[in-house]
Chain A
Amino acid sequence: MSSPSYTVIIGLEVHTQLKTNSKLFCSCANEFNPDNPNTQTCPVCLGLPGALPVMNRHAFDLSLKTALALNCTIPHFTKWDRKQYYYPDLPKAYQISQFDLPFSENGWLEITNDEDGGPVRRINITRAHLEEDAGKNVHDESGQGGDSGVDLNRTGTPLLEIVSEPDLRSASEARRYLEEMRTLLLFIEVSDCNMQEGSLRCDANVNLHIHNEDGTTTATPIVELKNMNSFRNVEMAIDYEVKRQHSEFKKTGKTIDDSSKVTRGWDAERSVTFAQREKEDVSDYRFFPDPDLVPVVLTESEIEVVRRSLPETPAVKRDRFRTEHGLTEYDASVIIGQGPGITAYFEAVVFACGDGKIAVNWVTQDVLRDLNASESGVDDFPITSDLLGTLLKWITSERLTNKSAREVYAILKKRAVTGDEISVQDVETLAAEREIVRDTGALEAAIAAAIASRPDAVEDVKTGKLQAVGPMMGMVMKQVGGADPKEVRAMLISMIQDS
């Protein structure tokens, strides 16, 4: 079949833990601490009778910042509600969340197009709301049906839920949306976005619109996918689910009207999704306004203050890297996709050497390769942006060849391994030793000597076999270290032809 017989419909729910000192409603530490279970709790987050929650100002401000970076509308009035929720990881038996009046709605996030070079895709954001996280259950692994352990260190930590419209059309688009979201959250410094530690989590709502031969469309039942703990798993789970739903539809013909939303988990080991319990009806959560928390009312000028204080978003940065530093869309995305650390490093290198393209080549090739190999962060990278910037300045001012610069870089790396301090002056010295020779007198003498020693090769060059300059070039380069090979080659050929 030339065109697909269905359209994939995906909406994502992203949960991100906010980077605060304390929890959302109490002063317990908001810190990942699985090795010391139940050491970060108090009467409020344990849900003890009579304890009262008070909203963390910083958690609210971080939420507001995120919503504005996602181009959301901020209503002037917002409140919190109780969502009935009976699991041991939330001892109050309800979660404080936001139901009908979330603090933000109707935003968007732009992602690159599935098709190479296509225009960016604007994915609409339904809403973002601020809620408390649940604790962690530790299950008995023995298979003997032993008790589950509950650690309430995470209970009551601030969690931002960001719900997209069902605007995503493929698994790879969903992955790119998540990557873009993560990059944004990192750049505006609201979350660590560590998927291993659970500070960024994602559920996906997936179904298909089957295109029937008579021109009508039939929607398959919506499936909510859970347990996907990496972007790659999200992509694989959705891909699997699309195929599963298509074959299920061909088999049973079941439509969205025949089945309410069901939950399926992703089994990463077997690479399949599996049925989980039926999702409770929305009304079964029996939301009602939390009487312990008062509403938040904002003025337009308060919202404006936060909007103005927003750091440059990755999207704006990407545009600026293209226009200001001459980067391609791809290179700009590679740098920014590496996160704020590498991006700041890159910007410092550009500032020092004055050439975006040279800087991006070195950062994406040499620096990223070495960083990946060392598994250390850019902050611990021994060749700092100052050092690399200083070195690349020699290239941009045409005093050092790329090859010589790589030699210097390799020497710096060796010194770093032995733990030696490297100074900017060291870079200057190493570069100066390899400076491109502009003294044409010395160069001409060396070339003349080389020509005189190889009359056979000279004849070859004269008859058009230009590759015969090779051995003579070698002789010259050996004699005049730091000579620019391109220049030597050109001079050799022209002197032979003139002779």
Chain B
Amino acid sequence: MEIDEVRKVASLARLELSDQELETYGQNLTQILGYVEVLNEVDIKEVMPMPHAVDLQNVFRPDERGPSLNRTAALSNAPKTDGQFFQVPQILEQKDA
């Protein structure tokens, strides 16, 4: 795996890696991909794609409200808060959704 690819994957996962780490993980990933590569040898022409590992479908819940956490509890794990909002460094980027 090229270092640039590793760098891109790391950046997409918001991981900051040193040059040494890029090197190491690049090698690891190459090994893993090589290992998984074996699967390409299986003939799957006649096999339908498997959508889910569990053989279950149509699991729903009724549209009923239940209790939510109170605000103090909701914010209790926040690295930073003003008591009302989660606080994060200023968001400059525009987002999708």
Contact = CB atoms under 8 A, between A and B. Distances in A.
B61 A29 contact: no
B34 interface: no
A28 B64 CA distance: 9
Contacts of A21: 63-65
A27 B53 contact: no
A88 B91 contact: yes
B24 to A, nearest CB: 22
B61 A55 contact: yes
Contacts of A277: 93-94
A150 B87 contact: yes
A286 interface: yes
Interface residues on A, range: 35 or more
A236 B93 CA distance: 24
A439 interface: no
A133 B95 CA distance: 12
Interface string B3-30: 0000000001010000000000000000
A46 interface: yes
Contacts of B94: 226, 263, 265, 276-277
Contacts of A294: 52, 54, 56-59
Interface string B72-97: 00110100101011111111011111
B60 interface: yes
Interface size class, chain B: 35 or more
Contact of A289 (B12, B51, B97): B51
Question: Helix, strand, loop or mixed for chain B's interface?
Answer: loop
A22 B89 contact: no
Contacts of A265: 94
B58 A296 contact: yes
A153 to B, nearest CB: 9
B69 interface: yes
Interface in A102-152: 133-134, 137-140, 145-152
A95 interface: yes
B86 A56 contact: no
B40 interface: no
A274 B4 CA distance: 31
A220 B58 CA distance: 44
A311 interface: no
B63 A58 contact: yes
Most A CB atoms within 10 A — which of B74, B77, B88, B94?
B74
Interface in A184-202: none
Interface in A260-280: 263, 265, 276-277, 279
A57 interface: yes
B63 A148 contact: no
A56 B59 contact: no
Given A54-B61, A294-B57, A38 B88 contact: no
Interface of B: 12, 14, 51-54, 56-71, 74-75, 77, 80, 82, 84-91, 93-97
Closest 5 CB pairs of A and B: A149-B85, A27-B66, A58-B63, A57-B60, A150-B86
26 contacts: A27-B67, A29-B68, A37-B71, A41-B74, A54-B59, A77-B51, A87-B93, A88-B88, A137-B91, A145-B90, A147-B90, A148-B88, A148-B90, A148-B91, A149-B84, A149-B86, A152-B86, A277-B94, A289-B52, A291-B53, A293-B59, A294-B59, A295-B51, A295-B52, A296-B57, A297-B57
